[in-house]
Amino acid sequence: MANNPENSFVLRTKDVFLSFGAVTAADNLNIEVSAGELVGIVGANGSGKTTFLNLITGYLKPEHGSILVMGQETTGMPPRLVTKLGVARSFQVPQLYTNLSVHESMLLSLAAESGKGGGFWKPLHRDPWEQQGMETLERFGLETYADRPVSELPGGGRKLLDIALSFALKPKLLLMDEPTSGVSVENKFQVMDTLVNVLKESDITTIFVEHDMEVVQRYGRRVLAFDNGSVIADGEPEHVLADPEVRTAVLGRV
């Protein structure tokens, strides 16, 4: 049997369109992302970056067009089913239970991945989640915080934990919304170094929205530039970020 070309992409969108009144949020998007890619997305506020992530994860439904994940049609599919296909997401503002310990937060994520989420966390203190949870925290450099409340984590640590919890879901496609937002200038490269190393080791396809052009230039292997719901450039960082149209749209200058 011939290979289905749809299955050669982790993500594929076809003519995806969405508007909010007179504002076009996604203007016939045709985007293909292959396995193992690390794709950065840039654009001014309101350019459609986060809308794109919301469409992929099922939080928004396009007016027309289709979205395929691992070759499977997901258009209109509820977020929980999209997650089951192997899509995980971290948010600009980390979605964390600050009263739990770092390790308890990880155990909850592992329980959710196994389909046994819900209920209280204390019964979750058992193997293999205990070991797997600590191993994941170690990969993200968070093991020293394991028994401390999430509320005591610094900004960079909270970002890493939020992404580590998504990582625990064993995703095939990881979406990150501004992974360095709220992280100090001194720590942003350390956070990204940790993330990128873990993602490379795990061969997880990743799309990240980022406002910091230094981060995009340094870590993106491919960059999509959004403006008014459209992709105005797609290619290697040095080429996309030097494009006069992109610089005007994203930075407000040539």
Predicted confidence (pLDDT) per residue in 40-71, tens digit? 999 999 999 999 999 999 999 999 999 999 99
Omega within 30 of 0 (cis) for the link into 128:
yes
* Structural domain boundaries in the chain: 1-86+172-254, 95-170
Range with lowest mean pLDDT among 46-50, 107-111, 112-116, 227-231 = 112-116
pLDDT tens-digit map of 190-226: 889 999 999 888 889 999 999 999 999 999 999 999 9
Q: Is 40 helix (H, G, I), strand (E, B) or coil?
A: strand
Rounded to 5°, angle at Cα 250 from 190 and 237: 55
Q: Is 103 helix (H, G, I), strand (E, B) or coil?
A: helix
Q: Does CATH number 3.40.50.2000 belong to domain 1-86+172-254? A: no
Residues for the chain: how many in total? 254
| Residue whose structure tokens are 């979605």 | 95
Burial of 21 (0-12, 13-18, 19+ CB in 10 A): exposed
How many CA atoms are closer than 13 Å to the CA of 233, on its beta-carbon side?
A: 23
Position 182 confidence tier, pLDDT thresholds 50, 70, 90 = confident
Taking the C-alpha atoms of residue 43 and residue 26, their distance in angstroms, rounded to an integer, is 13
114's tokens: 């196994």
Q: H-type helices in 100-223, by residue range? A: 102-113, 129-139, 155-167, 188-202, 213-219
Rounded to two decimals, what is the model's pTM?
0.85
